[in-house]
Amino acid sequence: CISPRRIFREIKKFEKEEVANKSTYWVIFELIWRDYFKFVCLKFGDRVFYRTGIRGIDQDWSQDMKQFKCWAEGKTGVPFVDANMRELKETGWMSNRGRQNVASFLIKDLGLDWRLGAEWFESYLLDHDVCSNYGNWNYAAGIGNDPRENRKFNMIKQGMDYDADGQYVRAWVPELRGVHGGKVHVPWTLGTRDLEAAQLDLGTTYPKPMVMAPEWGRHTQKSNKKPGYREPPKGQKGIDFYFKSDRGGGGGSSGGRYQGGGGGPQRGGKKSAPRGGRVQY
């Protein structure tokens, strides 16, 4: 087990001897968040485990175990969610970006009790930290340290922003490997010819979406762009809690508030997408 103090010292040594860049910055940034959630738990104690969270807010969350099982096994019919959940189950790891998205989907789209997700993460994450995990699930559920309520991630937009070519989804959801480009994020929009070409039978070889959020429709057309296409950077509604996205990397690897998603230092001063951001919608 490597202590956070040693990680901090090694990063500072690396920055002095090699290079200081966004990658090194965000690893330290996430260490600070780790400490922050330690203090949150010291202040609020076991309230972080309560249904009502540290703010004492109760909501009508469901305990539908059939829906939860679909989420946990990566069979929701929403490719970006399913890919992340399958990676977690098979490897014990998930990117910060993925953790934010699957948490939002469970709470905001399915309306399930946030504690189900927190306990699942606790069971599977190799980098699990009690304070970081439960503090972040409180945050995602709107009962933790966040003054802005009802924030929700748009699964399609997030998938297109962070896995525009669909390579990450195809890596973890083999049923969709015959679907090319960004269309893999919205297989329910494919025509009969494309479905046949991909050997895909929705509802049989791959599930239909459990839910269809109305805001997804605003971004489904982006899936028709050619592989490698990126929209030019521009402002997004509800973003910039700490920084604006650089529109980086597939696989949802750009970070968030969940522990364990930061990338390691990179040599040669090469630019990389910042880890640790909190881009919404």
Q: Report pLDDT for 221.
A: 67
Neighbours of 230 (CB within 10 A): 12
Q: Give every CB contact of residue 66 below 8 A, 6+ residues apart in sequence.
A: none
Buried b (16+ CB within 10 A) or exposed e, 52-66: ebbbeeeeebeeeee
Sequence-ordered alpha helix ranges (H) in the chain? 4-17, 22-44, 65-72, 79-91, 96-104, 114-124, 130-141, 155-162, 167-172, 192-197
Q: Report pLDDT for 147.
A: 60
Q: Which of 30, 101, 133, 138 is catalytic?
A: 30
Does residue 120 have an active-site annotation?
Answer: no
Does residue 196 have an active-site annotation?
Answer: no
Q: Report pLDDT for 222.
A: 61
Neighbours of 71 (CB within 10 A): 24
Does residue 137 have an active-site annotation?
Answer: yes
Does residue 96 have an active-site annotation?
Answer: yes
Q: Which of 21, 26, 84, 114 is catalytic?
A: 114
Q: Which of 96, 136, 138, 154 is catalytic?
A: 96
Q: Which of 137, 138, 172, 175 is catalytic?
A: 137
Q: Report pLDDT for 220.
A: 77
Does residue 33 have an active-site annotation?
Answer: yes
Per-residue pLDDT of the chain (281 residues; tens, 9 = 90+): 789 999 999 999 999 999 999 999 999 999 999 999 999 999 999 999 999 999 999 999 999 999 999 999 999 999 999 999 999 999 999 999 999 999 999 999 999 999 999 999 999 999 999 999 999 999 999 999 876 667 899 999 999 999 999 999 999 999 999 999 999 999 999 999 999 999 999 999 999 999 999 999 888 766 555 444 334 334 333 332 222 333 333 443 334 445 433 333 334 443 333 333 333 32
Q: Report pLDDT for 245.
A: 32
Q: Report pLDDT for 218.
A: 84
Please state, in angstroms and as integers, the Cα–Cα distance from residue 211 to each residue in 67, 71, 77, 106, 214, following that order. 10, 12, 9, 11, 10
Q: Give every CB contact of residue 178 below 8 A, 6+ residues apart in sequence.
A: 197, 198, 199, 200
Q: Which of 33, 71, 120, 172 is catalytic?
A: 33
| C-beta separation of 251 from 167 below 8 A | yes
Q: Report pLDDT for 35.
A: 95
Q: Which of 15, 18, 61, 93 is catalytic?
A: 61
Does residue 175 have an active-site annotation?
Answer: no
